[in-house]
A and B are shown apart, each in its own frame.
Chain A
Amino acid sequence: DAGVTQSPTHLIKTRGQQVTLRCSPKSGHDTVSWYQQALGQGPQFIFQYYEEEERQRGNFPDRFSGHQFPNYSSELNVNALLLGDSALYLCATQRGRYEQYFGPGTRLTVT
């Protein structure tokens, strides 16, 4: 049983560019959440997707958007990248409201 997978592992982008990160859920999971983790801090909630719709959103600007596909996989898109967007981006999946499981993360560096 494969766990949560994310791609790519690492990414380097330039200020102003756009980026798309991808997440495939653990088998049987229907809910996907995205978190941003800056260096030395705990993960911060970006948003959650369920039934292909954004169910809840954290305190992040509209430059951050997402999508969930019928197979429950998800994408996180960030437009107009800023230096401050450099972070580890974590995807978490769950079945219903049960325990969340995290992927290995995508490390984004904005130069």
Chain B
Amino acid sequence: GIQVEQSPPDLILQEGANSTLRCNFSDSVNNLQWFHQNPWGQLINLFYIPSGTKQNGRLSATTVATERYSLLYISSSQTTDSGVYFCAVPSNDYKLSFGAGTTVTVRA
């Protein structure tokens, strides 16, 4: 099945800092999702981004499907941005295959 790798595994930021999270995948995909998992376990949809660039407030994402990677940008980070960020891609059209996640800690 498709392999999804995320980097870095952990990220510690000072409030106000910017950061970039990366997601590499091993095969061509027709969509990609980014999620934020809050401390209670809820997976929050951030982006559905098969290709190109999207922005939502302080977050933006870019997927370069031909090179099999996606980037998630966090600007002016806030403590509420803390949590685990996952990217996921469909495998065999149905199931989502997840990376191991990037744990982000934003310090005040």
Known: A42-B86, A99-B48, A100-B33. A105 touches B96 (CB 8 A): no
Q: For chain B, residues 70 to 108, give those with C-beta under 8 angstroms from any C-beta of chain A.
A: 86, 88, 90, 92-101
Q: Are A99 and B45 in contact (CB under 8 A)?
A: yes
Which of the listed residues A44, A45, A99, A101 has the most CB atoms from chain B within 10 Å of its own CB? A45
Compute how far the CA of A35 lies from the CA of B37 in the bound complex, rounded to whole angstroms: 14
Which residue of the partner chain B has the closest CB to A58?
B95
Q: How many residues from B make CB contacts under 8 Å with A?
A: 22
Indicate if B41 sits at the interface (CB-CB under 8 A): yes
Distance (Å) between the CB of B34 and the closest chain A CB?
Answer: 11
Indicate if B66 sits at the interface (CB-CB under 8 A): no
From A48, A88, A97, A102, B35 is in contact (CB under 8 Å) with A102
Which residue of the partner chain B has the closest CB to A37?
B41
Report which A residues bind B (CB closer than 8 A).
33, 35, 37, 41-45, 48, 55-56, 58, 88, 90, 92, 97-102, 104-105, 107
